Chains A and B, each alone.
Chain A
Amino acid sequence: AQSVTQLGSHVSVSEGALVLLRCNYSSSVPPYLFWYVQYPNQGLQLLLKYTSAATLVKGINGFEAEFKKSETSFHLTKPSAHMSDAAEYFCAVTFTGGFKTIFGAGTRLFVKA
């Protein structure tokens, strides 16, 4: 079955520390992959997306993600966390053959001063 798994429902980092949010998908064919961020009481905003071009994708707000086919992963990173990064992050996948996007369960990022 097609699925998206985000490891860790909560991640806490100190301001200035590396942010690493993990996402794995299950599919025999590389899908299209997305990372979204959701701030409280708001909709989702696209951070970045992978569409089979470069495997290292740069997004907004200093975030980037690397597509690793051998590991079926698309982890999100940011070298230095900022307080404003505190939010919930969703990994999402669009699989071939369908017009629907499957979202991971989300990871809530906490940033400590």
Chain B
Amino acid sequence: KAGVTQTPRYLIKTRGQQVTLSCSPISGHRSVSWYQQTPGQGLQFLFEYFSETQRNKGNFPGRFSGRQFSNSRSEMNVSTLELGDSALYLCASSFGSGLAPSTDTQYFGPGTRLTVL
């Protein structure tokens, strides 16, 4: 079974631009979560989607948004990029029981490393 894939793996942007990152979950998984990983802040939860609905959101500004498609693939968008947005963005998928809290194992992709110049 193929794992979680994220594209692109590396991205370089300049301040003020916007970026879209893509995540394809494991086949059959309906829940997708996004995380930002930086040396200073560690792993920070961005948002979680299940069956095209955002169920929870972390403490990030509105410049960070996401969506999920009917095939469970997910995208996240960051508008008006800032230097501080440079990070490794990780996507994780899980089966998704639809109940809270989820005990499902999350499977992580390799991440997209975003550098903002």
Contacts and interface: CB of A to CB of B under 8 A. Distances in A.
Size category, A interface: 20 to 34
Contacts, number: 65
Most buried by B among A34, A42, A43, A103: A43
B48 A43 contact: no
A82 interface: no
B90 A43 contact: yes
Given A32-B101, A43-B109, A100 B42 contact: no
Contacts of B109: 43
Secondary structure dominating the interface of B: strand
Contacts of B31: 99
A49 B44 CA distance: 19
Contact of B108 (A32, A45, A95): A45
Contact of B103 (A42, A49, A97): A49
A34 B92 CA distance: 14
A101 B89 CA distance: 15
Interface stretch (B14-22, B50-58, B75-83): B50-58
Given A49-B105, A98-B101, A43 B4 contact: yes
Nearest to A52: B103
Contacts of B103: 32, 49, 51, 94
Given A44-B90, A101-B33, A101-B45, A95 B106 contact: no
Interface in A78-99: 90, 94-99
Interface string B35-77: 1000000111100101000011010000000000000000000
Interface of A: 31-32, 34, 36, 41-46, 49, 51, 90, 94-106
Which 5 pairs show the lowest CB-CB distances between chains A and B? A43-B108, A103-B43, A99-B55, A99-B56, A44-B108
